[in-house]
Amino acid sequence: MPVSRDRWSKEFGEWFRSVLLNAEIMDYRYPIKGCGVWLPYGFKLRKNVLKILRELLDSTGHEEVQFPLLIPETSLAKESRHVRSFEDECFWVTHGGSTPLKVRYALRPTSETAINPMLKLWIRSHRDLPVAIYQIVNVFRYETKATRPLIRMREVTTFKEAHTAHATAEEAEKQVEKAVSVYKRFFDSIGVPYLISKRPEWDKFAGAEYSIAFDMICPDGRVLQIGTVHNLGQNFSKAFDVTYETVDGGREYVYQTCYGISERAIASIVIAHGDDNGLVLPYDVAPIQVVVIPIPYKGKEEPINEAVRDVVRKLEAAGIRVELDDREDLTPGSKFYYWELRGVPIRVEVGPRDVERGEVTVVRRDTLERSGCKLDAVVEKVVETAKQMTADLSKRAWEWMRKHIHYVDSLEKAEKLIKEREGVAQLFWCGSEDCGREIEERVDARVLGVPMDESLEREGSCVVCGRRTRYLVRVAAAY
Ligand code: A5A
Ligand code: ZN
């Protein structure tokens, strides 16, 4: 029997906030709005998630670097669309001590304008290309929409931004595809389901030719953008004069891409797998993979403790992250509650009957399903249970998401289902900005864009103007 998901779905905002605090992921009570403190347990989870991301990037031709936090206004201002979008979102440094600065510095809101002046120095010839670098840093955005822990921070603490430069438009296009496939593998490895959509013109990244976004659906039916891939074309290279010498001796501006993922990735794990008992963490990223809990029984203390120590030794020797909860002032029941809230994937109980049979009891966090196994086989049992649970979590999350995608043929139906928090509406759309904007207005929701993960064999009529079209568009309430 899976744990209920009433509070998870009906009081999602409150559920999310209280789980982050009580499971000790992030304390969001810092005296600056939009800033939070990673707690030790949350920090370990973050580290494990970043390890996956780093390994994926490192093994696909990216190199990790680190740029300064400060960007002079003169650099930020070089790409006109970029600065128009970001200047009001920047925190500005105006003084050094009490001396006013001649040129203000922005705390980076993202790093295109920090990176391009350096690319101009580094890239001379076609032999210097391609460049593919990334950094995992904090960025600052003076967000005006409601801030939320992990979801909308003003200090984004965990901003993984990759930046690439190429000789040709085709190579940049290829890189966009590669980035999308890296992000797919990343979200697949944490079992988080996603929709991939090409953002409409009016919602692309400032300075991009086009933007592709990964969105997930939250329990309240609203979508959360959990990653983006942008083709920047030559917009920044022209603004920053980043050129290379071509094979035949000419000069050409480089073509660029960039793509980003933030702590929303950690939010996505909390959201996709959680339930009314709290967190449910995928085994691979869980700070503690197995908790061992003795079930005390008068007169059997010694054999139970001996078995418990044996279990812990075996699991540790197998490289499993295991915690023994031998606190004497807590009942087993309150320990179950404590570790369920923190999402520990597997619990091993050792009670008097287990000991008599030379067995232990293994409990999965997602279904709370119990099964026994021989103490000697505990490692195999844990590994097998973990594997099954990882697959089941991903399956459950994908099934839940698919149930919240609805094909509709009218704006009224789209409006109704979005209002009722049923998720994403997919409608036929002619592709024009006028019709797109009208959809947003009449449905009172956001156009996420055209699906990139679904090919459409059918044809239909634009819900606004009635023109025949093969495009679908996704519409939803968005965070
Ligand atoms: N330079 C590119 C990569 C860029 O800045 N893209 S972006 O603006 O779309 O941000 C990348 C990702 O960061 C977004 O897809 C979103 O998942 C996340 N993000 C953006 N603003 C955030 C905020 N205030 N708090 C947490 N995550 C945020
Ligand atoms: Zn139309």
Of all ligands present, the nearest one to the C-alpha of 153 is 1
Residues 6+ apart with CB under 8 A from 101: 93, 94, 95
pLDDT for the residue 379: 98
Can you tell me which residue has the tokens 């093969």? 470
Give distance in angstroms: CA of 108 to centre of ligand 1.
12
Of all ligands present, the nearest one to the C-alpha of 468 is 2
Is the domain of 299 the same as that of 428? no
Other beta carbons within 10 Å of 100 = 9
Other beta carbons within 10 Å of 57 = 21
pLDDT tens profile 394-451 = 999 999 999 999 999 999 999 999 999 999 999 999 999 999 999 999 999 999 999 9
Query: Is residue 401 in a domain?
Result: no
Average pLDDT over the chain, rounded to an integer: 97
Ligand 1 test: best mutation among 225, 229, 261, 270, most atoms within 8 Å of CB? 225
Shortest-distance Cα residue to atom 9 of ligand 1: 228
Question: In ligand 1, which atom is closest to the CA atom of 225?
Answer: 17
Predicted confidence band of residue 69 (pLDDT cuts 50, 70, 90): very high
Q: Are 269 and 192 in contact (CB under 8 A)?
A: yes
Q: Cite the DSSP H helix spans in 161-295.
A: 169-189, 235-240, 264-273
Hey, what are 336's tokens? 């179950």
Is the domain of 298 the same as that of 436? no
Query: Is residue 278 in a domain?
Result: no
CATH number of the CATH domain containing 199: 3.30.930.10
CB of 155 closer than 6 angstroms to any ligand 1 atom = no
Q: Is the pLDDT of residue 457 over 80?
A: no
pLDDT tens profile 202-224 = 999 999 999 999 999 999 999 99
The residue segments making up the domain with residue 65 are 6-273
Q: Give the Cα separation of 16 and 13 in Å (integer).
A: 5
Query: Is residue 238 in a domain?
Result: yes
Q: Give the Cα separation of 347 and 368 in Å (integer).
A: 9
Of all ligands present, the nearest one to the C-alpha of 224 is 1
Is the domain of 21 the same as that of 105? yes
Q: Give the Cα separation of 168 and 129 in Å (integer).
A: 10
**Of the residues 338, 354, 387, the one at which a domain ends:** 387
**Of the residues 321, 352, 387, the one at which a domain ends:** 387
pLDDT for the residue 301: 93
Give distance in angstroms: CA of 462 to centre of ligand 2.
5
CB of 89 closer than 6 angstroms to any ligand 1 atom = no
Give distance in angstroms: CA of 428 to centre of ligand 2.
9
CATH number of the CATH domain containing 436: 3.30.110.30
Query: Is residue 402 in a domain?
Result: no
pLDDT for the residue 196: 98
Query: Is residue 400 in a domain?
Result: no
DSSP secondary structure letter of residue 168? S
Predicted confidence band of residue 304 (pLDDT cuts 50, 70, 90): very high
Question: Where would I find the beta strands (DSSP E) of 91-173?
Answer: 92-96, 99-107, 131-140, 155-166
Give distance in angstroms: CA of 37 to centre of ligand 2.
46
pLDDT for the residue 318: 98
Query: Is residue 396 in a domain?
Result: no
Is the domain of 246 the same as that of 302? no
Q: Is the pLDDT of residue 455 over 80?
A: no
Question: In ligand 1, which atom is closest to the CA atom of 143?
Answer: 24
Instruction: Report the DSSP beta bridge partners of residue 373.
Output: 360
Predicted confidence band of residue 2 (pLDDT cuts 50, 70, 90): confident
Is the domain of 266 the same as that of 374? no
Q: What's the whole-model pTM score? A: 0.97
Hey, what are 403's tokens? 């149930």
Give distance in angstroms: CA of 261 to centre of ligand 1.
6
Is the domain of 295 the same as that of 260? no
Can you tell me which residue has the tokens 């999350």? 397
CB of 477 closer than 6 angstroms to any ligand 1 atom = no
Is the domain of 340 the same as that of 446? no
CB of 259 closer than 6 angstroms to any ligand 1 atom = yes
Question: In ligand 1, which atom is closest to the CA atom of 161?
Answer: 3
Is the domain of 335 the same as that of 412? no
CB of 36 closer than 6 angstroms to any ligand 1 atom = no
Is the domain of 103 the same as that of 151? yes
Q: How many domains does the chain have?
A: 3
Q: Is the pLDDT of residue 258 over 90?
A: yes
Is the domain of 179 the same as that of 218? yes
Q: Give the Cα separation of 42 and 49 in Å (integer).
A: 11
Average pLDDT of the residues in 230-237: 98
CATH number of the CATH domain containing 361: 3.40.50.800
pLDDT tens profile 26-67 = 999 999 999 999 999 999 999 999 999 999 999 999 999 999
What size, in residues, is the chain? Answer: 479
CB of 258 closer than 6 angstroms to any ligand 1 atom = yes
Q: Is the pLDDT of residue 1 over 90?
A: no
Query: Is residue 281 in a domain?
Result: no
CB of 160 closer than 6 angstroms to any ligand 1 atom = no
pLDDT tens profile 315-373 = 999 999 999 999 999 999 999 999 999 999 999 999 999 999 999 999 999 999 999 99
Of all ligands present, the nearest one to the C-alpha of 436 is 2
Is the domain of 86 the same as that of 226? yes
First to last CA, the chain: 31
Query: Is residue 283 in a domain?
Result: no
CB burial of residue 214 (10 Å; 0-12, 13-18, 19+) = buried
Predicted confidence band of residue 200 (pLDDT cuts 50, 70, 90): very high
Give distance in angstroms: CA of 469 to centre of ligand 2.
9
Can you tell me which residue has the tokens 């980076």? 108
Average pLDDT of the residues in 265-272: 98
Q: Give the Cα separation of 375 and 384 in Å (integer).
A: 15
Average pLDDT of the residues in 253-265: 98
pLDDT tens profile 122-173 = 999 999 999 999 999 999 999 999 999 999 999 999 999 999 999 999 999 9
Q: Is the pLDDT of residue 458 over 90?
A: no
CB of 176 closer than 6 angstroms to any ligand 1 atom = no
Give distance in angstroms: CA of 430 to centre of ligand 2.
4
Percent over 90 (pLDDT), the chain: 98
Is the domain of 54 the same as that of 181? yes
Helix (H, G, I), strand (E, B) or coil at 368: coil
Give distance in angstroms: CA of 151 to centre of ligand 1.
10
Ligand 1 test: best mutation among 32, 33, 86, 159, most atoms within 8 Å of CB? 159
